Chains A and B, each alone.
Chain A
């Protein structure tokens, strides 16, 4: 099984959620929604009651993924198209949800294959209606637009800019590879019919339990430096196959190679739930996995679990069961303005605050207040001046927006 694999959008399927857990989850969500307190004005620590693993340990047993294997998979998916002298279709589209690494993978592929990268214009140019940036598309050399979501703004002039871009992209014979955020793709499909004008996109295959087992194992194996066992704190059962000691290696090379453990071992129910809760999104699953890892004192772990772990080689990393883990949730009665704000952030894969003022029917002060509240709840973060929905908060934000009839992506 290739860990990273790109398939046509129509072949994408999400990992299934175990039926019992799905039913319990809905009831739990309903009760939480009815009983949940409103968004607090003061900062609340999401992890107040948990003692999660230290960052140093997390970076050893669950390091940040590198995208080398994903890039090679994209290379494989586009190889026949790249090799054709006169392809039938000059465009290739790659779409992915937040956390699928679409922009990074497309950019790296483009650099390797010497496609010229087209830089998105500043948002204010889009809003002001300037079209100077379209001159980047002049010529007939191969182009790459790794982040199509940055070429529009949800503004009446921003949408028109996208129409002009799509018109230039479609009318020509040069090869162009486009990467796009799934939320922007859904929005642009409704507004400028981009799904009808451009070919069916490739998407990263969903990370089901089997893929997660392989991936998380390899991530741990690559940098751990010692043997590891991952066990649940309540019953001591293995969550991943035991990691054998091996020398450090570039995880980017290992992510698509068979690991030392038995590859046919059935994934644990924990991983099945991880796949379902993350909706098959690798970075969301990775963030949730790190959230569940725990270095505990003995009083946090059941005696049965401790006994089961007594024979482990190397170090035992405890994993909290889902019932003991709190992920950021969108509070009940969240103001409609906050939902609009979250939706806008997802459409554009993050925006600076001063631009939100131009795209939302609210004052900058009101927007900042909502942003701070959402940050307190762990749902958004500020990175290099750009506000984004957090990986941990993404499943709850998406579920809430879907429940409130907002347009969501197809992932």
Chain B
């Protein structure tokens, strides 16, 4: 573009209110930071289910604030004609497409994720073998905390190609499984009933949701699974531990033998 074309597109330097633009951008940043801090703070103080309605609002509000800020600031710099906008955004698109295509892909994937909601803050997801709770969603990526307290940053662009498994999909509770491996010589009916009672009497159990005990025969013995929901999905590991510890105590009381050979290999979690 030559200086004449630029003169048609942009206002003159002396006509641009840089201070006002700076104030608008600063205000937008302050609001975004406030939302990112205030909403999680409020969410953690409210009854359990409310948290899962409030947390997903953060990335939505952030993108709305950014859009409003861009729409407010742009007409202060560029003469608002259709021709100018087409020229500017065309040039921008060309530049970004080559130089920052992965970054832009992540940004667009982030917008798609907000709309389609394959995941949201508070969800427990598995991506490329990493499993954890989504703590926050940024523009380009989201952060999740694994059970080992490791922070994993996953770009939104993963939704184009990877399989993302969501354990709770916005709900407070998600299915947990405790496995038991027994020697095949035992009373299966008594074991199933005992394991069912173990689950029904767990202090973590969401008793309004069903409890199921499944059994599958394997070459080395019988594989039992207690499938149940905790009241709060964040207690997943405490819940499974409780089921396992009390289940083992209950089965020991039934004088069942544990599977020994070959070594019991837990099935991969999907």
Q: List residues of chain A with CB under 8 Å of any chain B CB.
A: 30, 33-34, 129, 154-160, 187, 190-191, 332-333, 336, 340, 343-344, 359-361, 400, 403-407
**Chain A residues touching B, majority SS:** helix
Query: Is residue B35 within 8 Å, beta carbon to beta carbon, of the partner chain?
Result: no
Distance, CA A343 to CA B241, complexed state (A) = 20
Query: Is residue B176 within 8 Å, beta carbon to beta carbon, of the partner chain?
Result: no
Q: Which single residue of chain B is at the shortest CB-CB distance from A362?
A: B203
How many contacts between A and B, using CB within 8 angstroms?
66
- List the B side residues contacting A191 at CB < 8 Å: 197, 200-201, 207
7 A–B contact pairs at CB < 8 A? A156-B201, A158-B201, A160-B197, A190-B200, A333-B44, A344-B203, A407-B207
The reply to whether A159 and B200 contact each other, CB–CB distance below 8 Å, is yes
Query: Is residue B93 within 8 Å, beta carbon to beta carbon, of the partner chain?
Result: no
Query: Is residue B105 within 8 Å, beta carbon to beta carbon, of the partner chain?
Result: no
The reply to whether B45 and A403 contact each other, CB–CB distance below 8 Å, is no
- List the A side residues contacting B42 at CB < 8 Å: 34
- List the A side residues contacting B270 at CB < 8 Å: none
In-complex Cβ contact of A340 among B203, B206, B250 (8 A) = B203
In-complex Cβ contact of A406 among B173, B200, B231, B241 (8 A) = B231
Q: From residue A187, how far is it (CB to closest CB) to chain B in Å? A: 7
Distance, CA A332 to CA B253, complexed state (A) = 41
In-complex Cβ contact of A405 among B48, B242, B250 (8 A) = B48
In-complex Cβ contact of A34 among B45, B197, B208, B235 (8 A) = B45
| Count of chain B residues near A, Cβ 8 A | 28
Chain B 154-198, CB-CB to A under 8 Å as 1, else 0, gives 000000000000000000110000000000000000000010011
Chain B 233-252, CB-CB to A under 8 Å as 1, else 0, gives 00100100110001000100
Query: Is residue B37 within 8 Å, beta carbon to beta carbon, of the partner chain?
Result: no
Distance, CA A156 to CA B192, complexed state (A) = 12
The reply to whether A336 and B45 contact each other, CB–CB distance below 8 Å, is no
In-complex Cβ contact of B203 among A33, A159, A360, A400 (8 A) = A360
The reply to whether A159 and B197 contact each other, CB–CB distance below 8 Å, is yes
Q: From residue A184, how far is it (CB to closest CB) to chain B in Å? A: 13
Q: Given A156-B201, A160-B197, are A33 and B45 also a contact pair (CB < 8 Å)?
A: yes
- List the A side residues contacting B45 at CB < 8 Å: 33-34, 332-333
- List the A side residues contacting B172 at CB < 8 Å: 405
Distance, CA A343 to CA B205, complexed state (A) = 12
The reply to whether B204 and A361 contact each other, CB–CB distance below 8 Å, is yes
Query: Is residue B46 within 8 Å, beta carbon to beta carbon, of the partner chain?
Result: yes
The reply to whether B44 and A404 contact each other, CB–CB distance below 8 Å, is no
Q: From residue A331, how far is it (CB to closest CB) to chain B in Å? A: 10
- List the A side residues contacting B250 at CB < 8 Å: 156
Q: Which single residue of chain A is at the shortest CB-CB distance from B250?
A: A156
Distance, CA A361 to CA B48, complexed state (A) = 20
Q: From residue B209, how far is it (CB to closest CB) to chain A in Å? A: 10
The reply to whether B46 and A33 contact each other, CB–CB distance below 8 Å, is yes
Distance, CA A188 to CA B118, complexed state (A) = 38
Distance, CA A154 to CA B172, complexed state (A) = 24
The reply to whether A156 and B206 contact each other, CB–CB distance below 8 Å, is no
Query: Is residue B262 within 8 Å, beta carbon to beta carbon, of the partner chain?
Result: no
Residue of B48, B203, B207 with most partner-chain A CB within 10 A: B203
In-complex Cβ contact of A159 among B48, B201, B208 (8 A) = B201
- List the B side residues contacting A359 at CB < 8 Å: 203
Q: Which single residue of chain A is at the shortest CB-CB distance from B173?
A: A405
Query: Is residue B257 within 8 Å, beta carbon to beta carbon, of the partner chain?
Result: no
Chain B 43-76, CB-CB to A under 8 Å as 1, else 0, gives 0111111000000000000000000000000000
The reply to whether A155 and B201 contact each other, CB–CB distance below 8 Å, is yes
Q: Given A159-B200, A332-B45, A406-B231, are A361 and B206 also a contact pair (CB < 8 Å)?
A: no
Query: Is residue B135 within 8 Å, beta carbon to beta carbon, of the partner chain?
Result: no
Q: From residue B97, how far is it (CB to closest CB) to chain A in Å? A: 45
Q: From residue A225, how far is it (CB to closest CB) to chain B in Å? A: 47
The reply to whether B207 and A190 contact each other, CB–CB distance below 8 Å, is yes
Chain B 88-126, CB-CB to A under 8 Å as 1, else 0, gives 000000000000000000000000000000000000000
- List the B side residues contacting A160 at CB < 8 Å: 197
Distance, CA A312 to CA B194, complexed state (A) = 67
- List the A side residues contacting B44 at CB < 8 Å: 333
The reply to whether B231 and A404 contact each other, CB–CB distance below 8 Å, is yes
Distance, CA A191 to CA B205, complexed state (A) = 12
In-complex Cβ contact of A336 among B206, B232, B246 (8 A) = B232
- List the A side residues contacting B235 at CB < 8 Å: 336
